[in-house]
């Protein structure tokens, strides 16, 4: 069982996503936020032939990290992830919430469901990668 700070240290190392998340070929920080602050920091994420840019929108150590995901098909108006950490007894609960906004209408809602299924699989992979990283680090 990892302490919240140990988990936070992995998540907050924003450019190092590819060192622990399966399916991520490369990641690096592109730009820091204004005045070196975390909010506004962007990272480049390479997944196969797809390049994404993720921008931090909330950073509250050691409990909350949120970022928007750019570089997906234009039909997806907004895609975001929000990591939350909370202590529960001797354990830490890690919650990863993905948000997809596509628009209104039947086709948009169907596209939103498909996008959420894809994100759910990626989220499961990231959670598994995070757990694996922490097990190796704290074994």
- pTM for the whole thing? 0.90
Beta-carbon contacts of 102 under 8 Å, excluding residues fewer than 6 positions away, are 75, 76, 77, 108, 109, 111, 112, 115
Instruction: CATH number of the domain at 37, please.
Output: 3.30.530.20
**Per-residue pLDDT tens digits for 66-107:** 999 999 888 788 999 999 999 998 889 999 999 988 878 888
**Per-residue pLDDT tens digits for 111-128:** 888 888 888 898 999 999
Count of alpha carbons within 13 angstroms of residue 4, beta-carbon side: 18
Q: Which residue carries 């992979």 as its tokens? A: 125
Split into its structural domains, the chain has a count of: 1
Query: Which domain, by its residues, includes 32?
Result: 4-137
């Amino acid at each position: 069982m990892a302490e919240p700070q140990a988990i936070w240290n992995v998540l907050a190392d924003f450019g190092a996503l590819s060192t622990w998340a399966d399916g991520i070929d490369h990641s690096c920080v592109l730009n820091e936020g204004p005045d070196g602050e975390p909010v506004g920091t962007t990272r480049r994420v390479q997944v196969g032939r797809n390049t994404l840019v993720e921008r931090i929108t909330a950073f509250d150590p050691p409990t909350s990290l949120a970022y928007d995901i750019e570089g997906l098909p234009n039909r997806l108006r907004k895609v975001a992830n929000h990591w939350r950490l909370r202590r529960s007894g001797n354990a830490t609960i890690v919650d990863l919430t993905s948000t997809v906004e596509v628009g209104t209408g039947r086709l948009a809602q169907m596209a939103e469901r498909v996008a959420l299924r894809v994100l759910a699989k990626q989220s499961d992979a990231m959670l598994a990668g995070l757990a694996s990283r922490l097990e190796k680090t704290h074994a």
